[in-house]
Amino acid sequence: MNISIFGLGYVGCVSIACLAENGHTVTGVDVVAQKIDLINQGKPTIIEKDIDVLLNTNWKKGRISSTQDFKQAVLDTEISIICVGTPSDVNGHLNLNAIYETAEQIGEALKEKDEFHIAIIRSTVLPGTNKKIGEIISERSGKKRNGGFAIVSNPEFLREGSAVNDYYNPPVTVIGTDNEKASKKIVEMYKGINAPFKETNIEIAEFIKYVNNSFHALKVSFANEVGNICKKMNIDSHELMDLFCMDTQLNLSPYYLKPGFAFGGSCLPKDLKAFKTMAHDFYLESPVLNSILDSNENQKNQALSLVLNQNKKKIGILGLSFKKGTDDLRYSPVVELAENLLGKGFSISIYDKNVNVSKLSGTNKAYIDKHIPHLSELISDDLEKVINDSETIIISHNVPEFKDVNLRFPDKHFIDLVKVKDIKPSSNYEGICW
Protein backbone atom coordinates (compact mmCIF):
# COMPACT_ATOMS: atom_id res chain seq x y z
CA MET A 1 0.00 0.00 0.00
CA ASN A 2 0.96 3.64 -0.40
CA ILE A 3 0.62 5.38 2.96
CA SER A 4 1.26 8.93 4.17
CA ILE A 5 2.06 9.71 7.79
CA PHE A 6 1.39 13.18 9.21
CA GLY A 7 3.67 13.96 12.14
CA LEU A 8 7.18 12.52 12.40
CA GLY A 9 7.58 12.53 16.16
CA TYR A 10 7.68 9.40 18.27
CA VAL A 11 4.62 7.57 16.95
CA GLY A 12 5.09 8.78 13.38
CA CYS A 13 8.75 7.79 13.16
CA VAL A 14 8.12 4.30 14.54
CA SER A 15 5.13 3.88 12.24
CA ILE A 16 6.99 4.94 9.08
CA ALA A 17 9.80 2.45 9.75
CA CYS A 18 7.60 -0.48 10.77
CA LEU A 19 5.07 -0.04 7.96
CA ALA A 20 7.92 0.11 5.44
CA GLU A 21 9.42 -3.03 6.99
CA ASN A 22 6.10 -4.74 6.29
CA GLY A 23 6.42 -3.87 2.61
CA HIS A 24 4.41 -0.65 2.34
CA THR A 25 5.64 2.51 0.63
CA VAL A 26 5.46 5.31 3.18
CA THR A 27 5.68 9.09 2.85
CA GLY A 28 6.22 11.19 5.95
CA VAL A 29 4.77 14.70 6.28
CA ASP A 30 5.83 17.28 8.85
CA VAL A 31 6.05 21.06 9.27
CA VAL A 32 9.56 20.82 10.75
CA ALA A 33 12.15 20.89 7.98
CA GLN A 34 14.81 19.19 10.13
CA LYS A 35 12.62 16.10 10.55
CA ILE A 36 11.97 15.97 6.82
CA ASP A 37 15.71 16.11 6.14
CA LEU A 38 16.52 13.35 8.64
CA ILE A 39 13.98 10.95 7.17
CA ASN A 40 15.19 11.72 3.64
CA GLN A 41 18.69 10.79 4.77
CA GLY A 42 17.47 7.48 6.18
CA LYS A 43 17.84 8.68 9.77
CA PRO A 44 15.22 8.54 12.55
CA THR A 45 13.86 11.65 14.28
CA ILE A 46 13.98 9.94 17.70
CA ILE A 47 16.30 7.81 19.82
CA GLU A 48 14.73 4.37 20.16
CA LYS A 49 15.95 0.79 20.19
CA ASP A 50 16.16 -0.79 16.67
CA ILE A 51 14.56 2.18 14.91
CA ASP A 52 17.76 3.45 13.21
CA VAL A 53 18.55 0.15 11.47
CA LEU A 54 14.92 -0.48 10.55
CA LEU A 55 14.41 2.96 9.05
CA ASN A 56 17.72 3.11 7.22
CA THR A 57 17.30 -0.36 5.71
CA ASN A 58 13.89 0.47 4.27
CA TRP A 59 14.98 3.94 3.13
CA LYS A 60 17.70 2.27 1.09
CA LYS A 61 15.05 0.01 -0.45
CA GLY A 62 13.15 3.10 -1.58
CA ARG A 63 10.14 2.52 0.65
CA ILE A 64 10.57 5.66 2.78
CA SER A 65 10.53 9.35 1.86
CA SER A 66 9.40 12.59 3.45
CA THR A 67 7.99 15.92 2.33
CA GLN A 68 6.35 19.15 3.47
CA ASP A 69 3.99 18.97 0.49
CA PHE A 70 0.90 17.62 2.25
CA LYS A 71 -1.25 17.83 -0.86
CA GLN A 72 0.99 15.63 -2.97
CA ALA A 73 1.37 13.16 -0.09
CA VAL A 74 -2.40 12.68 0.08
CA LEU A 75 -2.79 12.48 -3.69
CA ASP A 76 -0.08 9.81 -3.95
CA THR A 77 -1.42 7.58 -1.15
CA GLU A 78 -4.58 5.71 -0.25
CA ILE A 79 -4.26 6.04 3.52
CA SER A 80 -3.16 8.99 5.68
CA ILE A 81 -2.17 8.28 9.28
CA ILE A 82 -2.41 11.23 11.69
CA CYS A 83 0.31 11.08 14.36
CA VAL A 84 0.67 14.76 15.27
CA GLY A 85 1.08 15.87 18.87
CA THR A 86 -1.81 16.62 21.23
CA PRO A 87 -0.17 18.43 24.18
CA SER A 88 -2.17 19.37 27.27
CA ASP A 89 -2.34 22.71 29.04
CA VAL A 90 -1.84 23.25 32.77
CA ASN A 91 -5.49 22.35 33.42
CA GLY A 92 -5.29 19.08 31.48
CA HIS A 93 -7.21 20.25 28.40
CA LEU A 94 -5.81 18.95 25.12
CA ASN A 95 -4.56 21.25 22.42
CA LEU A 96 -5.97 19.69 19.24
CA ASN A 97 -4.93 22.49 16.89
CA ALA A 98 -2.39 20.31 15.08
CA ILE A 99 -5.02 17.58 14.61
CA TYR A 100 -7.51 20.03 13.13
CA GLU A 101 -4.89 21.65 10.90
CA THR A 102 -3.96 18.22 9.57
CA ALA A 103 -7.62 17.49 8.88
CA GLU A 104 -7.85 20.77 6.95
CA GLN A 105 -4.81 19.80 4.89
CA ILE A 106 -6.22 16.37 4.07
CA GLY A 107 -9.57 17.92 3.14
CA GLU A 108 -7.85 20.49 0.93
CA ALA A 109 -5.97 17.76 -0.89
CA LEU A 110 -9.07 15.61 -1.36
CA LYS A 111 -10.63 18.37 -3.45
CA GLU A 112 -8.33 17.21 -6.25
CA LYS A 113 -8.68 13.47 -5.64
CA ASP A 114 -11.30 11.14 -7.11
CA GLU A 115 -10.23 7.95 -5.32
CA PHE A 116 -11.60 6.95 -1.91
CA HIS A 117 -9.23 7.99 0.90
CA ILE A 118 -8.88 6.76 4.48
CA ALA A 119 -7.66 8.94 7.36
CA ILE A 120 -6.47 7.09 10.47
CA ILE A 121 -6.16 8.85 13.82
CA ARG A 122 -3.26 7.38 15.83
CA SER A 123 -2.80 10.44 18.05
CA THR A 124 -4.36 10.28 21.51
CA VAL A 125 -7.52 12.40 21.28
CA LEU A 126 -10.73 13.05 23.19
CA PRO A 127 -13.96 11.22 22.31
CA GLY A 128 -15.73 13.24 19.64
CA THR A 129 -12.54 14.17 17.76
CA ASN A 130 -13.15 11.56 15.05
CA LYS A 131 -16.53 13.16 14.33
CA LYS A 132 -15.01 16.66 14.28
CA ILE A 133 -12.23 15.63 11.91
CA GLY A 134 -14.81 14.11 9.59
CA GLU A 135 -16.71 17.39 9.55
CA ILE A 136 -13.55 19.40 8.82
CA ILE A 137 -12.47 17.14 5.95
CA SER A 138 -15.99 17.13 4.53
CA GLU A 139 -16.23 20.92 4.67
CA ARG A 140 -12.79 21.46 3.09
CA SER A 141 -13.06 18.78 0.41
CA GLY A 142 -16.72 19.09 -0.50
CA LYS A 143 -16.98 15.31 -0.18
CA LYS A 144 -19.27 13.33 2.10
CA ARG A 145 -17.99 11.11 4.88
CA ASN A 146 -18.11 7.46 3.77
CA GLY A 147 -18.60 8.72 0.22
CA GLY A 148 -15.22 10.15 -0.73
CA PHE A 149 -13.38 9.37 2.49
CA ALA A 150 -13.55 7.49 5.82
CA ILE A 151 -12.16 8.18 9.29
CA VAL A 152 -10.71 5.44 11.52
CA SER A 153 -9.71 5.74 15.17
CA ASN A 154 -6.76 3.39 15.71
CA PRO A 155 -4.97 4.21 19.01
CA GLU A 156 -1.34 3.21 19.46
CA PHE A 157 0.05 1.31 22.45
CA LEU A 158 3.76 2.10 22.17
CA ARG A 159 6.13 2.43 25.11
CA GLU A 160 9.30 4.45 24.76
CA GLY A 161 12.29 2.09 24.87
CA SER A 162 10.37 -0.86 23.39
CA ALA A 163 8.27 0.89 20.74
CA VAL A 164 9.34 -1.27 17.77
CA ASN A 165 8.60 -4.48 19.63
CA ASP A 166 5.32 -2.99 20.88
CA TYR A 167 4.35 -2.04 17.32
CA TYR A 168 4.63 -5.64 16.16
CA ASN A 169 3.25 -7.16 19.37
CA PRO A 170 0.49 -4.91 20.74
CA PRO A 171 -2.03 -6.39 23.18
CA VAL A 172 -4.77 -5.67 20.65
CA THR A 173 -5.25 -3.69 17.44
CA VAL A 174 -8.26 -1.43 18.00
CA ILE A 175 -10.31 -0.25 15.03
CA GLY A 176 -13.09 2.27 15.56
CA THR A 177 -14.89 3.35 12.40
CA ASP A 178 -18.30 3.62 10.78
CA ASN A 179 -17.03 2.34 7.43
CA GLU A 180 -16.69 -1.37 6.72
CA LYS A 181 -14.48 -0.83 3.67
CA ALA A 182 -12.01 1.17 5.74
CA SER A 183 -12.02 -1.44 8.50
CA LYS A 184 -11.06 -4.21 6.07
CA LYS A 185 -8.33 -2.02 4.60
CA ILE A 186 -6.80 -1.42 8.03
CA VAL A 187 -6.77 -5.15 8.77
CA GLU A 188 -4.94 -5.65 5.46
CA MET A 189 -2.47 -2.85 6.29
CA TYR A 190 -1.59 -4.50 9.61
CA LYS A 191 -1.17 -7.97 8.16
CA GLY A 192 1.63 -9.72 10.05
CA ILE A 193 1.03 -7.87 13.32
CA ASN A 194 0.94 -10.31 16.22
CA ALA A 195 -2.31 -9.20 17.88
CA PRO A 196 -6.05 -9.80 17.71
CA PHE A 197 -8.18 -7.20 15.95
CA LYS A 198 -10.98 -5.61 17.92
CA GLU A 199 -13.55 -3.60 16.03
CA THR A 200 -15.48 -1.31 18.34
CA ASN A 201 -17.43 1.93 18.23
CA ILE A 202 -15.50 5.10 17.58
CA GLU A 203 -15.89 6.65 21.04
CA ILE A 204 -14.50 3.56 22.80
CA ALA A 205 -11.53 3.51 20.42
CA GLU A 206 -10.89 7.18 21.25
CA PHE A 207 -11.24 6.68 25.01
CA ILE A 208 -9.29 3.45 25.63
CA LYS A 209 -5.84 5.07 25.73
CA TYR A 210 -6.88 7.41 28.56
CA VAL A 211 -8.22 4.49 30.57
CA ASN A 212 -5.07 2.45 29.93
CA ASN A 213 -2.62 5.17 30.92
CA SER A 214 -4.58 6.30 33.96
CA PHE A 215 -4.60 2.70 35.22
CA HIS A 216 -0.88 2.38 34.56
CA ALA A 217 -0.32 5.55 36.57
CA LEU A 218 -2.50 4.17 39.37
CA LYS A 219 -0.45 0.95 39.44
CA VAL A 220 2.81 2.86 39.76
CA SER A 221 1.47 4.96 42.64
CA PHE A 222 -0.08 1.95 44.36
CA ALA A 223 3.19 -0.02 44.18
CA ASN A 224 5.12 2.98 45.50
CA GLU A 225 2.83 3.37 48.50
CA VAL A 226 3.18 -0.36 49.23
CA GLY A 227 6.95 0.02 48.95
CA ASN A 228 7.03 2.96 51.36
CA ILE A 229 5.19 0.94 54.00
CA CYS A 230 7.41 -2.09 53.36
CA LYS A 231 10.55 -0.05 53.90
CA LYS A 232 9.33 1.08 57.32
CA MET A 233 8.65 -2.56 58.24
CA ASN A 234 11.93 -3.84 56.80
CA ILE A 235 10.09 -5.98 54.25
CA ASP A 236 11.49 -6.61 50.75
CA SER A 237 8.94 -4.73 48.63
CA HIS A 238 10.14 -6.19 45.33
CA GLU A 239 9.90 -9.77 46.54
CA LEU A 240 6.45 -8.95 47.92
CA MET A 241 5.22 -7.48 44.63
CA ASP A 242 6.73 -10.37 42.67
CA LEU A 243 4.48 -12.61 44.74
CA PHE A 244 1.57 -10.23 44.18
CA CYS A 245 2.07 -10.45 40.41
CA MET A 246 2.00 -14.26 40.44
CA ASP A 247 -1.74 -14.11 41.08
CA THR A 248 -3.22 -13.87 37.59
CA GLN A 249 -6.62 -15.12 38.71
CA LEU A 250 -7.44 -11.97 40.71
CA ASN A 251 -4.57 -9.46 41.04
CA LEU A 252 -3.56 -9.21 37.37
CA SER A 253 -6.75 -10.22 35.63
CA PRO A 254 -10.11 -8.87 34.40
CA TYR A 255 -11.59 -9.68 37.81
CA TYR A 256 -12.77 -6.62 39.77
CA LEU A 257 -12.40 -4.43 36.66
CA LYS A 258 -16.06 -4.27 35.67
CA PRO A 259 -17.92 -1.01 36.38
CA GLY A 260 -20.69 -1.54 38.90
CA PHE A 261 -21.62 -1.09 42.55
CA ALA A 262 -19.40 -0.63 45.59
CA PHE A 263 -17.27 -3.36 47.15
CA GLY A 264 -18.19 -4.80 50.53
CA GLY A 265 -17.94 -7.97 52.58
CA SER A 266 -15.84 -8.86 55.57
CA CYS A 267 -12.43 -8.79 53.84
CA LEU A 268 -11.87 -5.85 51.49
CA PRO A 269 -13.04 -3.01 53.79
CA LYS A 270 -11.36 -4.52 56.87
CA ASP A 271 -8.00 -5.20 55.25
CA LEU A 272 -7.91 -1.88 53.44
CA LYS A 273 -8.56 -0.02 56.69
CA ALA A 274 -5.79 -2.01 58.38
CA PHE A 275 -3.37 -1.22 55.56
CA LYS A 276 -4.21 2.49 55.77
CA THR A 277 -3.66 2.37 59.52
CA MET A 278 -0.18 0.86 59.04
CA ALA A 279 0.77 3.78 56.80
CA HIS A 280 -0.70 6.27 59.28
CA ASP A 281 1.21 4.70 62.19
CA PHE A 282 4.46 5.23 60.28
CA TYR A 283 3.48 8.85 59.50
CA LEU A 284 3.37 8.06 55.78
CA GLU A 285 1.23 9.92 53.28
CA SER A 286 -0.69 7.33 51.22
CA PRO A 287 -3.21 9.29 49.11
CA VAL A 288 -4.03 6.39 46.78
CA LEU A 289 -4.88 4.02 49.63
CA ASN A 290 -6.70 6.78 51.49
CA SER A 291 -8.89 7.62 48.52
CA ILE A 292 -10.17 4.09 47.87
CA LEU A 293 -12.80 4.08 50.62
CA ASP A 294 -13.89 7.60 49.64
CA SER A 295 -14.39 6.43 46.07
CA ASN A 296 -16.35 3.43 47.33
CA GLU A 297 -18.63 5.67 49.39
CA ASN A 298 -19.17 7.83 46.32
CA GLN A 299 -20.41 4.79 44.40
CA LYS A 300 -22.88 3.99 47.19
CA ASN A 301 -24.15 7.57 46.99
CA GLN A 302 -24.46 7.22 43.23
CA ALA A 303 -26.82 4.27 43.66
CA LEU A 304 -28.85 6.09 46.29
CA SER A 305 -29.21 9.11 43.99
CA LEU A 306 -30.53 6.93 41.17
CA VAL A 307 -33.27 5.64 43.46
CA LEU A 308 -34.13 9.06 44.89
CA ASN A 309 -34.37 10.53 41.39
CA GLN A 310 -37.28 8.19 40.62
CA ASN A 311 -39.48 9.80 43.30
CA LYS A 312 -41.10 6.43 44.05
CA LYS A 313 -41.60 5.22 47.61
CA LYS A 314 -41.92 1.46 47.03
CA ILE A 315 -38.50 -0.10 46.43
CA GLY A 316 -37.67 -3.71 45.59
CA ILE A 317 -34.18 -5.13 46.09
CA LEU A 318 -33.08 -8.25 44.22
CA GLY A 319 -30.08 -9.59 46.13
CA LEU A 320 -29.08 -8.47 49.63
CA SER A 321 -25.84 -10.31 50.44
CA PHE A 322 -22.54 -8.66 49.47
CA LYS A 323 -21.97 -11.30 46.76
CA LYS A 324 -24.25 -13.65 44.83
CA GLY A 325 -24.32 -17.29 45.94
CA THR A 326 -23.74 -16.46 49.62
CA ASP A 327 -25.77 -15.40 52.65
CA ASP A 328 -22.99 -13.18 54.02
CA LEU A 329 -24.54 -9.80 54.83
CA ARG A 330 -21.56 -8.32 56.66
CA TYR A 331 -20.63 -4.93 55.23
CA SER A 332 -22.82 -5.54 52.22
CA PRO A 333 -23.22 -2.21 50.40
CA VAL A 334 -26.76 -3.30 49.51
CA VAL A 335 -27.60 -3.58 53.21
CA GLU A 336 -26.31 -0.02 53.66
CA LEU A 337 -28.41 1.13 50.71
CA ALA A 338 -31.53 -0.53 52.15
CA GLU A 339 -30.82 0.96 55.58
CA ASN A 340 -30.47 4.43 54.04
CA LEU A 341 -33.74 4.09 52.16
CA LEU A 342 -35.59 2.84 55.23
CA GLY A 343 -34.25 5.82 57.17
CA LYS A 344 -35.68 8.12 54.52
CA GLY A 345 -39.15 6.58 54.85
CA PHE A 346 -39.15 4.26 51.84
CA SER A 347 -41.06 0.97 51.79
CA ILE A 348 -38.65 -1.90 51.06
CA SER A 349 -39.24 -5.43 49.73
CA ILE A 350 -36.26 -7.79 49.38
CA TYR A 351 -35.68 -10.99 47.42
CA ASP A 352 -32.62 -13.13 48.09
CA LYS A 353 -33.09 -16.89 47.94
CA ASN A 354 -29.78 -17.52 49.76
CA VAL A 355 -30.66 -15.46 52.83
CA ASN A 356 -32.74 -17.27 55.44
CA VAL A 357 -33.12 -15.01 58.48
CA SER A 358 -33.75 -17.91 60.85
CA LYS A 359 -30.43 -19.52 59.87
CA LEU A 360 -28.24 -16.43 60.25
CA SER A 361 -25.77 -16.67 63.13
CA GLY A 362 -22.69 -15.16 64.73
CA THR A 363 -21.27 -11.92 63.38
CA ASN A 364 -23.46 -12.23 60.28
CA LYS A 365 -26.63 -12.13 62.41
CA ALA A 366 -25.20 -9.43 64.68
CA TYR A 367 -24.46 -7.20 61.69
CA ILE A 368 -27.92 -7.43 60.15
CA ASP A 369 -29.64 -7.09 63.53
CA LYS A 370 -27.81 -3.80 64.00
CA HIS A 371 -28.59 -2.39 60.55
CA ILE A 372 -31.97 -3.92 59.59
CA PRO A 373 -33.35 -5.54 62.77
CA HIS A 374 -36.75 -6.32 61.19
CA LEU A 375 -35.32 -7.98 58.06
CA SER A 376 -37.68 -10.96 58.40
CA GLU A 377 -40.62 -8.64 57.70
CA LEU A 378 -39.04 -7.31 54.50
CA ILE A 379 -37.55 -10.37 52.83
CA SER A 380 -39.41 -12.86 50.63
CA ASP A 381 -38.58 -15.93 48.55
CA ASP A 382 -41.19 -14.93 45.96
CA LEU A 383 -39.50 -12.93 43.20
CA GLU A 384 -42.68 -11.91 41.38
CA LYS A 385 -44.32 -10.73 44.61
CA VAL A 386 -41.35 -8.50 45.45
CA ILE A 387 -41.43 -6.95 41.98
CA ASN A 388 -45.21 -6.53 41.93
CA ASP A 389 -45.13 -4.87 45.37
CA SER A 390 -42.51 -2.35 44.19
CA GLU A 391 -42.26 0.61 41.83
CA THR A 392 -38.49 0.88 41.53
CA ILE A 393 -36.44 -2.34 41.59
CA ILE A 394 -32.72 -2.48 42.38
CA ILE A 395 -30.83 -5.44 40.88
CA SER A 396 -27.68 -6.18 42.88
CA HIS A 397 -26.89 -9.79 41.90
CA ASN A 398 -25.99 -11.04 38.43
CA VAL A 399 -28.03 -14.25 38.26
CA PRO A 400 -29.98 -15.85 35.38
CA GLU A 401 -33.39 -15.48 37.03
CA PHE A 402 -33.09 -11.68 36.81
CA LYS A 403 -32.45 -11.75 33.06
CA ASP A 404 -34.89 -9.49 31.18
CA VAL A 405 -37.09 -8.79 34.23
CA ASN A 406 -37.32 -5.28 32.81
CA LEU A 407 -39.10 -6.67 29.76
CA ARG A 408 -41.39 -8.92 31.77
CA PHE A 409 -42.46 -6.04 34.01
CA PRO A 410 -42.60 -2.99 31.71
CA ASP A 411 -44.51 -0.89 34.26
CA LYS A 412 -41.63 -1.03 36.77
CA HIS A 413 -38.33 0.89 36.73
CA PHE A 414 -35.16 -1.19 37.12
CA ILE A 415 -31.79 0.05 38.36
CA ASP A 416 -29.04 -2.47 37.61
CA LEU A 417 -25.95 -2.32 39.85
CA VAL A 418 -24.16 -5.35 38.36
CA LYS A 419 -24.95 -5.40 34.60
CA VAL A 420 -27.01 -8.57 34.49
CA LYS A 421 -25.66 -10.79 31.74
CA ASP A 422 -27.52 -10.46 28.44
CA ILE A 423 -30.17 -8.14 29.87
CA LYS A 424 -31.76 -6.15 27.08
CA PRO A 425 -31.89 -2.34 27.26
CA SER A 426 -35.32 -0.74 27.57
CA SER A 427 -36.90 2.55 28.52
CA ASN A 428 -37.55 1.29 32.06
CA TYR A 429 -33.97 0.14 32.70
CA GLU A 430 -30.76 1.94 33.66
CA GLY A 431 -27.33 0.86 34.83
CA ILE A 432 -25.47 2.54 37.66
CA CYS A 433 -22.55 3.53 35.40
CA TRP A 434 -23.49 2.36 31.94
200: pLDDT confidence band, cut at 50, 70 and 90? very high
pLDDT of residue 291: 96
Residue 281: inside a domain, yes or no?
no
pLDDT reading at 148 higher than 80: yes
Given 166, 200, 234, the domain boundary residue is 200
Residue 184 sits at φ, ψ, to 5 deg, of -65, -35
Residue 264: inside a domain, yes or no?
no
**Tens-place pLDDT, residues 305-333:** 999 999 999 999 999 999 999 999 999 99
Sign of CA dihedral 47, 50, 51, 52: positive
**Tens-place pLDDT, residues 53-92:** 999 999 999 999 999 999 999 999 999 999 999 988 777 7
Residue 254: inside a domain, yes or no?
no
Given 200, 220, 237, the domain boundary residue is 200
The answer to whether residues 317 and 363 belong to one domain is: yes
The answer to whether residues 185 and 234 belong to one domain is: no
From the list 18, 230, 267, 433, the catalytic residue is 267
- The number of domains in the chain is 3
Residue 285: inside a domain, yes or no?
no
Percent of the chain's residues with pLDDT above 90? 94
Given 172, 200, 228, the domain boundary residue is 200
The answer to whether residues 36 and 166 belong to one domain is: yes
Mean pLDDT of 199-226: 95
pLDDT of residue 176: 97
Residue 423: inside a domain, yes or no?
yes
Domain that holds residue 75: 2-200
pLDDT reading at 163 higher than 80: yes
421: pLDDT confidence band, cut at 50, 70 and 90? confident
Of 378, 371, 419, 428, nearest to 398 by C-alpha is: 419
The answer to whether residues 183 and 223 belong to one domain is: no
Residue 291: inside a domain, yes or no?
no
CA distance 423 to 426: 9
The answer to whether residues 82 and 159 belong to one domain is: yes
Task: Output Rg (C-alpha) for the chain, integer angstroms.
Answer: 28
The answer to whether residues 187 and 327 belong to one domain is: no
Residue 124: inside a domain, yes or no?
yes
pLDDT of residue 87: 87
Percent of the chain's residues with pLDDT above 70? 100
The answer to whether residues 391 and 368 belong to one domain is: yes
Of 337, 299, 300, nearest to 318 by C-alpha is: 337
CATH of the domain at 74: 3.40.50.720
pLDDT of residue 384: 96
Give, in order, the Cα–Cα distances in Å from 74 to each of 5, 28, 111, 307.
9, 11, 11, 54
The answer to whether residues 151 and 21 belong to one domain is: yes
The answer to whether residues 222 and 320 belong to one domain is: no
pLDDT reading at 194 higher than 90: no
Give, in order, the Cα–Cα distances in Å from 233 to each of 184, 221, 250, 276, 432.
56, 19, 26, 14, 40
pLDDT reading at 410 higher than 80: yes
**Tens-place pLDDT, residues 210-221:** 999 999 999 999
Provide the residue count of the chain.
434
Active site annotation includes 267: yes
The answer to whether residues 370 and 337 belong to one domain is: yes
**Tens-place pLDDT, residues 254-305:** 999 999 999 998 899 999 999 999 999 999 999 999 999 999 999 999 999 9
Residue 108: inside a domain, yes or no?
yes
**Tens-place pLDDT, residues 336-346:** 999 999 999 99
The answer to whether residues 20 and 76 belong to one domain is: yes
Q: Which of 89-98, 126-135, 315-324 has the lowest mean pLDDT?
A: 89-98
The answer to whether residues 89 and 235 belong to one domain is: no
Q: In whole angstroms, what separates CA 98 from the centre of its chain?
A: 25
Beta strands across the sheet bearing 413-416: 379-380, 347-351, 314-318, 392-395, 413-416, 429-431
